[in-house]
Chain A
């Protein structure tokens, strides 16, 4: 694997200071920083070949369209989908889930049907289903979690029934870091003929994702959480599903023939890509996936595992600090709380030391309710972080304790 100093040098923002202190960026779960090659790729679109995709016959449009389609192919290969028609670009994880919740709901959901989620979902994988359930008279069922922050599989098996129409779960909890047992979840759902959507917002950047091996029906993720640009995301769906489902947005490019009497839709994947897509971001995302592949996804996973274990040990040594989410299977995210100190106070002081963490409920209020707390401090690490930065976080926490004791 590339040397850590060289890796950090790839990310211009990591050189900056905040409040005259070196930036320690531990908010990768919210968004990741971008390597220079991604910034260059997006820049290059606008500088050299910007033209709207799929429309013009002109040179620039052709060039943009080709780069956009190559990006789709990159995504396909990155998650090992069978066909590039199975890759739909969206605005992000939230856009992908909203789209599927709408189209799936319109096509398959009737009154009394059930959708299964887990207690670990962030709001993006709760609210779109709630909206759909309200529209269709369907019901949400929730897989509970244990004290370690792991879903209870036995309870999940009990929830699966003839009423279940879809299971939608996260790959890893954004608030606690728990990695879900997807193999078991998908196998049980499939044996009941129920499709599964996996929300990869916190999964795609931490290791190898192979949608074929997982046999997952839908897989979604955001570009900005895997070192790519903002405003681009991916919806993978097995061809058989995408072919059957209706579009979730109408507009240009997704149509075959339009008259005022009736519109017929374009073929896959264009049926789901209405209007002008964010092709510069898609091209940037493809570059980010290249970058991640070059670093090595197995290396990234093992480096992050090492950082997680170091950080967990160091934080566990701090008196009056409680870690929430203590599963053996975690991404490199640590949520914690200091006794008698509000997470907002902790976050504000860490910020002034140059340490970026997230505080609050992490858009996952049901997880916080489970523990009867109103928030935590979350340090979400990734492969460009260092043990020295973790040491500095520990120093910061001691400082917080001394100020608020």
Chain B
């Protein structure tokens, strides 16, 4: 699936629910599917510091695609990371850099997870793109 197709399927899934509680239950379930980071990467170097919950994000580059693994100490945040990984993991650096992540708005996450809420959502996206740029610079 393309980045667009994955985003559209996420938007479809969330649109099944009107109630915020159901959306959060879905996020909690998604968090359980998160490809869990190797404990040795759960260190400061891979920490994305939000104000409220911690996120560890590790990129693995095989010369072609980047694979992300992650974890968070908060379960809802873990669900959000899981969504980002669904969309952006196992992609080429170029795909990641140029991706337009419209699903965040469409499922109503941005309004609830704005930068001032310090959930780190935007820092996560920024960090994923930064890794992609770094790997891109390496191969070019």
Contact = CB atoms under 8 A, between A and B. Distances in A.
Is A bound to B? Answer: yes
Interface of A: 19, 341-345, 347-349, 352, 359-360, 374-375, 403-404
A271 to B, nearest CB: 36
Contact of A404 (B51, B75, B112, B119): B75
B16 interface: no
Nearest to A348: B76
A403 B28 contact: yes
Nearest to B21: A352
A142 to B, nearest CB: 24
Contacts of A375: 52
B77 interface: yes
B119 to A, nearest CB: 7
Contacts of B21: 349, 352, 403
A377 to B, nearest CB: 11
Contacts of A342: 53, 73-75, 77
Contact of A343 (B20, B52, B118): B52
A122 to B, nearest CB: 15
A13 B51 CA distance: 28
Contacts of A19: 20
Contacts of A374: 73
Contact of B51 (A348, A360, A403): A360
B20 A345 contact: no
25 contacts: A342-B53, A342-B73, A342-B74, A342-B75, A344-B52, A344-B74, A344-B76, A344-B77, A345-B74, A345-B75, A345-B76, A345-B77, A348-B24, A348-B76, A348-B112, A349-B24, A360-B51, A360-B118, A374-B73, A375-B52, A403-B21, A403-B24, A403-B28, A404-B28, A404-B75
Contacts of B20: 19, 352
Nearest to A351: B112
A32 B5 CA distance: 45
B64 interface: no
Nearest to B77: A344
Contacts of B77: 342, 344-345
Given A349-B24, A352-B24, A360 B52 contact: yes
Contacts of A349: 21, 24
Given A342-B53, A345-B76, A375-B52, 18 more contacts: A342-B74, A343-B52, A344-B53, A344-B74, A344-B76, A344-B77, A345-B75, A347-B52, A348-B24, A348-B76, A349-B21, A349-B24, A352-B21, A359-B52, A360-B51, A374-B73, A403-B21, A404-B75
B9 interface: no
Contacts of B74: 342, 344-345
Interface in B18-65: 20-21, 24-25, 28, 51-53
A347 B51 CA distance: 14
B31 to A, nearest CB: 10
Nearest to B73: A342
Nearest to B74: A342
A300 B27 CA distance: 42
B25 A403 contact: yes
B73 to A, nearest CB: 6
Contacts of A403: 21, 24-25, 28
Contacts of A343: 52
A348 B112 CA distance: 9
Interface string B68-90: 00000111110000000000000
B34 to A, nearest CB: 15
A303 to B, nearest CB: 32
Nearest to B20: A352
Nearest to B113: A348
A132 B73 CA distance: 36
Contacts of A341: 75
A85 B98 CA distance: 61
Contacts of A345: 74-77
Contacts of A359: 52
